[in-house]
C-alpha cells in the first residue's frame, strides 16, 4: 500500500476494539476541526433522535445490524474500514464468548492484513526525501532484484548504493522484512506520520515530493500523469468542508490501491489546497 505523509489526529480504526469509543473519537475529531454537533451527526446517519449517537458513544445504547450500516455512510468509511467496523459492532454486541471470539478473529484478520504503521519521532529518517518511501514499495514489487536494477527502475536519480542503504534502513527500522529466499515484504500496508514530533519531518518530505510534482509537468506526457489546478473563492466554513472532502477522497484512493492486483508501477500523489490571498476583510487601505 501507500505511504501517507500526513498528520493524523485520530487513531486508525484497527486500533479500536470498542465501537462506542470509536464513534466518540470520530465525533470529537470532527468537532475539533469544524462546527459539528450530535444533531448534525444523527441527521447524516438518518436518525430522528439527536441524542441517540451521543448515548451510543457513552456506551449507554448500542448499534444494531441495521443502524451500523447507516453509520458506515455517515462516517464515510471505505475499504477495509467497513468490514472492520461491522465486525467491531458485532464483537461488542455479542452475547456469548463463542460469538465474541468469532468476531474478534475477524477484526484481528483485517487488522493484520491492513495494519497501519504509525511513524514516531525515532523514525524521522523515513521521511528524509523520497527514496525510502519508493524503495519500500519497490522492493516487494521487484522480488529478487538487485539494488542496481531497482535504481534503474526509478524515474528520479538514485544510485545502487543508495538503494542498498535504504533497504538496510527499512529492514532495521521494521518497515520491510526479508524472508529466507531474500525477497522483501512490507510489515504493514500503510505508513502514517504521528502528530507528535513529526511535523517538521513531514513538511520537509512534502516539499521534496512537491518539487518532483513540478518537474513531472515537463518530464512526463499527459497520458502518464494527471496534474490540474483550480482557483476558488471560499470562507472558513467551505474551506473546512473541502478539506474534509480531500481527506475522504484520499481514503478512497488508498482503498483502490489496496485492491490493485499485479501492480507494475509506483506513483506519488500530492493533494494541495492552499491560500492564494490573505483574508480580504482584514486588508486595510494603504
Amino acid 162: pLDDT: 94
Q: How far is CA 83 from the centre of its chain?
A: 17
Alpha carbon separation from 104 to 2, 15, 84, 203, 207 (Å, rounded): 26, 13, 10, 37, 41
Q: Is 68 strand, coil or helix?
A: helix
Cell numbers representing residue 58 in the block? 457513552
Q: Is 218 strand, coil or helix?
A: helix
Q: Is 250 exposed, middle or buried (0-12, 13-18, 19+ CB in 10 A)?
A: middle
Q: Residue 207 contacts by C-beta under 8 Å, 6 or more apart in sequence? A: none
The CB density around residue 236, as the number of other CB atoms within 10 Å, is 10
Residues in the chain, pLDDT under 50 = 1-8, 196
Q: Domains, the chain, ranges and CATH?
A: 9-115 (1.10.260), 118-227 (1.10.10)
Amino acid 67: pLDDT: 92
E strand or H helix at 51: none
Answer yes or no: are the C-beta atoms of 18 and 40 closer than 8 Å.
no
Cell numbers representing residue 147 in the block? 539494488
The CB density around residue 177, as the number of other CB atoms within 10 Å, is 13
Amino acid 183: pLDDT: 87
The CA distance from 105 to 109, in Å, is 6
Question: Cα 125–129–135 angle (5° rounding)?
Answer: 85
The 10s digit of each residue's pLDDT in 237-277 is 999 999 999 988 988 898 888 888 888 999 999 888 888 77
Amino acid 5: pLDDT: 40
Beta strands in 1-44 (DSSP E): 3-7
Beta-bridge mates of residue 7? 193
Amino acid 247: pLDDT: 87
Answer yes or no: are the C-beta atoms of 107 and 90 closer than 8 Å.
no
Amino acid at each position: 500500500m501507500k505511504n501517507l505523509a500526513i498528520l493524523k489526529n485520530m487513531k486508525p480504526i484497527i486500533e479500536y476494539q470498542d465501537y462506542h469509543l470509536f464513534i466518540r473519537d470520530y465525533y470529537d475529531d470532527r468537532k475539533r476541526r469544524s462546527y459539528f454537533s450530535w444533531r448534525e451527526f444523527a441527521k447524516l446517519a438518518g436518525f430522528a433522535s439527536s441524542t441517540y449517537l451521543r448515548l451510543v458513544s457513552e456506551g449507554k445504547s448500542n448499534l444494531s445490524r441495521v443502524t451500523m450500516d447507516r453509520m458506515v455512510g455517515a462516517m464515510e468509511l471505505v475499504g477495509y474500514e467497513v468490514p472492520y467496523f461491522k465486525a467491531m459492532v458485532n464483537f461488542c454486541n455479542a452475547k456469548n464468548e463463542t460469538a465474541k471470539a468469532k468476531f474478534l478473529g475477524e477484526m484481528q484478520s483485517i487488522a493484520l492484513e491492513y495494519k497501519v504503521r504509525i511513524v514516531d519521532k525515532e523514525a524521522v529518517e523515513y521521511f528524509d526525501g523520497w527514496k525510502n518511501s519508493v524503495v519500500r514499495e519497490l522492493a516487494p514489487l521487484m522480488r529478487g532484484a538487485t539494488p542496481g536494477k531497482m535504481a534503474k527502475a526509478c524515474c528520479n536519480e538514485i544510485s545502487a548504493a543508495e538503494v542498498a542503504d535504504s533497504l538496510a534502513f527499512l529492514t532495521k527500522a521494521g518497515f520491510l522484512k526479508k524472508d529466507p529466499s531474500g525477497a522483501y515484504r512490507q510489515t504493514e500496508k500503510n505508513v502514517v506520520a504521528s502528530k507528535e514530533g513529526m511535523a517538521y519531518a513531514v513538511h520537509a518530505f512534502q516539499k521534496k515530493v512537491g518539487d518532483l510534482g513540478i518537474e513531472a509537468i515537463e518530464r512526463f506526457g499527459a497520458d502518464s500523469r494527471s496534474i490540474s489546478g483550480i482557483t476558488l473563492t471560499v470562507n472558513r466554513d467551505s474551506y473546512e468542508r473541502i478539506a474534509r472532502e480531500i481527506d475522504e477522497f484520499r481514503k478512497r484512493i488508498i482503498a483502490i490501491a489496496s485492491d490493485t492486483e499485479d501492480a507494475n508501477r509506483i506513483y506519488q500523489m500530492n493533494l494541495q489546497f492552499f491560500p492564494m490571498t490573505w483574508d480580504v476583510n482584514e486588508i486595510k487601505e494603504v
